[in-house]
Amino acid sequence: MGYKWDFSGVYSYLNLWIKGLGVTLAYSVGTVLGGLIIGVICGMLLLYRRKWVTLPIHYYVEIFRCTPLLIQIVWFYYALPIVLNVELPAWLAAGIGLTLYMGAFSTEIFRGGIISIDKGQWQAARALGMTNGELMRHIILPQAMKRMVPPFVNQSIIQLKNTSLLYVVAVPDLMYTGSIVVADTFRPLEVYTSVGIMYFAILYPLTLWATRMEARVDQ
């Protein structure tokens, strides 16, 4: 009790906030798109029932699904340059980690969407004489994509929040900007409340839109 909230310190760093917001959005969009591409490729490859194709993908997906993202980001920042013997800038190392993480989940979403399509659709298309490419493009994907949209949007929302972990390798996103402003103003309550509100302000409209999409897909 008796704490006097004072947000004036927060506002005075408007320029920093805008930059941080830009970094957060750029990482979100970039890693979601990168992850989507990985997911489509790996998800497709999983359909080839060859062990030497599916097994590496299986391990890739599970390693990224079963370890904390924080560790992945730190690992790509500190360990990968040593392993590869190259100097990686922080923004790139962190970006690779986030992208591969999104890619792992996208792979699962993509694979799940495709195998959720009834076996009868595959056999009906084959019986008409469609090649695998034709049946994928005209019959399976149009149906599977609709089912993939809701889980993919959901994962993208999580991904946007996950970019906040970038602050551990000093990428100046919203979260890192928050920690700088805190160090300057000694107002952690106001600053982190504001950071939370900013994430909410971006994501809430997105979830509303996602719910609408889900309702459309359900039809």
Report the interface residues with other proteins, using CB under 8 A.
Answer: 118, 120-121, 123-132, 134, 138-139, 142-143
Of 6 and 118, which CB lies nearer to other proteins in the complex structure? 118
CB of 183 to other proteins, least distance (A): 55
Packing angle of the helix pair 69-84, 90-115 (nearest 10 deg): 120
CB of 216 to other proteins, least distance (A): 13
Distance, first Cα to last Cα, the chain: 52
CB of 122 to other proteins, least distance (A): 9
CB of 42 to other proteins, least distance (A): 23
Going from the C-alpha of 193 to that of each of 125, 127, 196, the distances in angstroms are: 54, 59, 5
Of 66 and 127, which CB lies nearer to other proteins in the complex structure? 127
Neighbours of 188 (CB within 10 A): 13
Of 73 and 141, which CB lies nearer to other proteins in the complex structure? 141
The owner of tokens 């969009």 is: 29
